[in-house]
Amino acid sequence: MSRARPPAIVLFVVLLHAEPAQLCVVRAAPPTYSAIVVNSYPHDPGAFTQGLHMDPQGSTMVESTGLYGESTVRRVDLVSGRVIQSERLPSSWFGEGLTVQAGRCIQLLWREGLALVRDPQTLKLRETLPLPPGIAEGWGITGDGRGSLFVSDGSSTLHELDVHTFEVKRRLGVRANGRELPALNDLQWVQGEIWANLWHEEKLAVIQPSDGSVRCFVDLRQLLSPAERRALGGGCDVMREEAVLNGIAFDEGARRLFVTGKCWPTIFEIETEALLAG
């Protein structure tokens, strides 16, 4: 017994004098869930999808598409893929994320420093709003339905804005396993959490809006077959490497989750344990 005590005392003294950076904090890595496809719907392979929003009735979606000279905002019939309404953006504007909140359809622009406020029914432009300082680029946008918008800019930070004034309420650093998670892209509010595309990654991150921690990931590598992957990019003027997973929509009434990609020919309705575990 007496010979066992000195090492314990020495260890205690070492810990007391250790610098904070020397102390290793073990964090559990967020789990990764798989997904299964329960339905597939046609999607315009020429649409460089940047944002999706499910209309309340669950049969149509509002979609924002990008690329200079090609950007649009459109309403699409889910089952047929038919474009019901479409508004083309000026050739100097690059469309990005989109959401419908507080009676307004809000569409971001990439590097133009603007948000476009539209009529949610006609999609006609009502006004333009400058993005607040600190948001370098517009990427993804969603809202909690209670007065807050969340905007991504390609970094690991989400910017929470007031839905009415567009003023910054706070900035939320997103971390997984204690490390920053960069390249946050399209966003979707799903049952109290923020689901995010990660640019050039075939997975979704499920983010806790309280502290920015990632609860889990959803692996979507199995959505496309090898032949479908090789064919990507053929429907629009863009390198195949940029035809990546992007676009999340959630049907709140029926609890249905949808994903697609830039210039993908399909919108997938998926089920995942990540939704059940939230």
3-state secondary structure of 118: strand
CA distance 142 to 51: 9
| Alpha carbon 173 to its chain's center | 15
Cβ(82)–Cβ(76) under 8 Å? yes
CA distance 112 to 164: 21
State pLDDT tens for residues 101-111: 999 999 999 99
Mean pLDDT lowest among 42-51, 154-163, 178-187, 236-245: 236-245
3-state secondary structure of 48: coil
At position 265, the amino acid (one-letter code) is P
- For residue 92, what pLDDT is reported? 97
pLDDT at 60 over 80: yes
Per-residue confidence band for 24, with pLDDT thresholds at 50, 70 and 90: very low
pTM: 0.88
- For residue 27, what pLDDT is reported? 66
- For residue 6, what pLDDT is reported? 42
pLDDT at 148 over 80: yes
pLDDT at 229 over 70: yes
SS3 content of the chain, % helix, strand, coil (to 5): 10, 45, 45
Mean pLDDT lowest among 29-38, 194-203, 227-236: 227-236
Q: Mean pLDDT over all residues of the chain?
A: 89
- For residue 84, what pLDDT is reported? 96
C-alpha distance from residue 18 to each of 9, 13, 102, 111, 128 (Å): 14, 9, 52, 46, 53
Residues above pLDDT 70, as percent of the chain? 87
Sequence-separated (6 or more) residues with CB below 8 Å from residue 6: none
3-state secondary structure of 211: coil
- For residue 236, what pLDDT is reported? 52
Mean pLDDT lowest among 100-104, 231-235, 236-240: 236-240
- For residue 9, what pLDDT is reported? 35
Residue 256 structure tokens: 């249905």
- For residue 28, what pLDDT is reported? 79
State pLDDT tens for residues 13-23: 333 344 444 44
